[in-house]
Amino acid sequence: MRLKPPVSFEEAYNYLSQNAVLVWGDASAARMEPQLQSIAKAMAVVGALDIPDEVEPLFGENIDIDLEALS
């Protein structure tokens, strides 16, 4: 899934680490640092890909799904 707008490793890591501290506290966030770095690297790689609009599925966008048919 494309990231809109694309993010750098630093932007992604800062966002993830700040939120980890808010949710789990400093000690737990520090223990998660290797995982947060891996996720941030993946976010930067995915964000840098040029994915055509017609290839990417729509997530979180209004695509006029018939919700009655799904229930």
- What residue has token string 């932007």? 11
What sign results for the dihedral spanned by CA atoms 27, 15, 50, 63?
Answer: positive
CA 30 to chain centre: 20
Per-residue pLDDT of the chain (71 residues), as tens digits, is 567 788 999 999 999 999 999 999 999 999 999 999 999 999 999 888 887 777 766 655 555 555 565 55
